[in-house]
């Protein structure tokens, strides 16, 4: 299960705590009352929430959490689980900006895309079994990276292992470990989902194209789901696939063929979010600096 790693760390952390609220059940003879306890029907009750802290089982008094102790325990465990998830997120996504990509802060300008991405998260377990992902394409600044990492963060919240991949690093590994490339990239294949941002931005040489193909082919064979983004237009991609003019384009035709087989295509062209954000930031700076807008 996706949450096994988080649950293991959670149980480990819980076991290491020394709070009396987290000790295992203790079988003992009747004991003295604490200041916040009273006796009722021969059992110890909590004076705060009026629920029992004991049960009588086969002649033994067995300690148990009262309602308020249980609530404290659940809050402690929830806080621990949240901290473990955040620690995991920092390991998987190094950029604070990308960790901040959340559906909750979406500007609402592309509701259909948001809905598709949220549905992808909701149904990820089924999609993961088939190795299905998303291919998000369109102009610069339209929100492709935002949606890719909004998906990543939502899945990390659920305990999945998500990794962002820079294809330049894959090419470098191919150069450094040419004799054992599969071993060099094997850790990426262990992820539940890979984010590949800006496909096609990496340098285009026969060696680089082959390295990218070999890596993505490995993902394809292992059914590792991909979220792929690119600034390339679908017409440009189809031209490469149908009429490659160079050896590199022929390899990229195979790359796109692999990606399209398992990824749903999503176009993001209409809203230039980055331009709008830049304008908004400029207005804030002008206000701080006391610069009046010229007519």
**Are both 105 and 54 inside the same structural domain?**
no
pLDDT for 280 equals: 67
Distance of CA 79 to the CA centre of its chain: 19
**Are both 79 and 174 inside the same structural domain?**
no
**Are both 179 and 88 inside the same structural domain?**
no
**Are both 166 and 71 inside the same structural domain?**
no
How many structural domains does the chain have?
2
- Please report whether residue 290 resides in a domain: no
- Is 258 in contact with 220 (CB distance < 8 Å)? yes
- Please report whether residue 140 resides in a domain: yes
**Are both 120 and 60 inside the same structural domain?**
no
| Domain CATH code at residue 253 | 3.40.50.300
Structure tokens at 166: 């820079």
Torsion of CA 173, 179, 183, 185, to 10 degrees: 20
pLDDT for 211 equals: 93
pLDDT for 60 equals: 85
Q: 172-181, pLDDT tens digit by residue?
A: 999 999 888 9
pLDDT for 272 equals: 59
- Please report whether residue 25 resides in a domain: no
Adjacent-strand bridge partners of 37: 46
Range of the structural domain that residue 220 is part of? 95-275
- Is 163 in contact with 191 (CB distance < 8 Å)? yes
**Are both 100 and 212 inside the same structural domain?**
yes
Q: 12-24, pLDDT tens digit by residue?
A: 444 444 333 333 3
User: What is the reported pTM?
Assistant: 0.73
**Are both 185 and 237 inside the same structural domain?**
yes
Q: 102-133, pLDDT tens digit by residue?
A: 999 998 888 999 999 999 999 999 999 999 99
DSSP of 162-207: EEEE-HHHHHHHHHHTTTSHHHHHHHHHTSSEEEE-STT-S---HH
pLDDT for 24 equals: 36
- Please report whether residue 19 resides in a domain: no
Instruction: Flag whether pLDDT at 293 surpasses 70.
Output: no
**Are both 162 and 240 inside the same structural domain?**
yes
**Are both 202 and 239 inside the same structural domain?**
yes
- Is 134 in contact with 117 (CB distance < 8 Å)? yes
Rounded to an integer, what distance in angstroms lies between the CA atom of residue 201 and that of residue 211?
Answer: 14
- Is 177 in contact with 183 (CB distance < 8 Å)? yes
- Please report whether residue 243 resides in a domain: yes
**Are both 64 and 196 inside the same structural domain?**
no
Q: 191-214, pLDDT tens digit by residue?
A: 999 999 989 887 778 899 999 999
């Amino acid at each position: 299960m996706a949450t096994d790693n988080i649950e293991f760390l959670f149980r480990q952390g819980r076991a290491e705590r020394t709070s009396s609220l987290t000790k295992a059940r203790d079988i003992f003879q009747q004991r003295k009352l604490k200041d916040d306890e009273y006796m009722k029907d021969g059992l110890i009750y909590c004076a705060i929430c009026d629920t029992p802290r004991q049960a009588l089982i086969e002649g033994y008094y067995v300690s148990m959490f009262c309602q308020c102790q249980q609530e404290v325990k659940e809050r402690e465990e929830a806080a621990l689980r949240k901290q473990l998830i955040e620690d995991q997120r920092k390991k998987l996504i190094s950029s604070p900006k990308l960790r901040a990509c959340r559906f909750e802060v979406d500007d609402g300008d592309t509701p259909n895309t948001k809905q598709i991405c949220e549905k992808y998260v909701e149904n990820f377990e089924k999609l993961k079994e088939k190795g299905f992902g998303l291919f998000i394409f369109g102009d610069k600044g339209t929100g492709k990276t935002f949606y890719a990492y909004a998906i990543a963060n939502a899945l990390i919240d659920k305990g999945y292992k998500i990794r962002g991949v820079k294809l330049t690093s894959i090419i470098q590994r191919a150069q450094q470990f040419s004799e054992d490339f599969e071993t060099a990239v094997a850790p990426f294949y262990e992820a539940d989902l890979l984010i590949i941002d800006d496909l096609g931005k990496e340098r285009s040489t026969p060696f680089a194209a082959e390295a990218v193909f070999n890596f993505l082919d490995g993902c394809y064979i292992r059914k590792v789901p991909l979220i792929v983004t690119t600034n390339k237009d679908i017409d440009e991609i189809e031209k490469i696939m149908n009429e490659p003019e160079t050896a590199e384009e022929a390899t990229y035709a195979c790359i796109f063929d692999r990606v399209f087989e398992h990824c749903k295509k999503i176009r993001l062209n209409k809203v230039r979010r980055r331009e709008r954000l830049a304008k908004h930031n400029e207005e804030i700076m002008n206000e701080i600096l006391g610069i009046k807008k010229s007519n």
